[in-house]
Amino acid sequence: MRTLNFAHGGTSYSCSLEPETLGHVTRYGEHTFALPHPSWKILGFSSHHWHNRITIPLTPGIKPEDLKRCFVWDSDHGTTRTWGGQYAGKLPRIQQAWITDSEGGSSND
């Protein structure tokens, strides 16, 4: 299984990159979720807080290097939101992103 992993606001997240469970969150910090987990899905990312929309949609072929310093958009129990708040006195963004697969390979950025 291919998984997108990213660090945001000091917490690690993982979501599925498989077409049938695309975006389903599988890990949040120390919490893990079995698939399918459709109640919490990553939808995409935006490159600037002025964007009021997703500018980088989540796709199975997403490139982790494109996500650095992006904002996260998700759907949590049907509510679409962009992640806000403060982290270290600034708007939180993705610090790093990488892809892993169940065969043990990874693409780090």
pLDDT tens, position by position, 43-93: 999 988 777 899 999 999 999 999 999 999 999 999 999 997 777 777 789
* Number of domains into which the chain is organized: 1
Quick one: pLDDT at residue 92? 84
Q: Among residues 25, 12, 91, 64, which one has the least CA distance to residue 83?
A: 91
Task: Give me the residue label for tokens 């980088």.
Answer: 56
Question: Which residues span the domain enclosing 58?
Answer: 2-107
Q: 57 is written with which tokens?
A: 């949609």
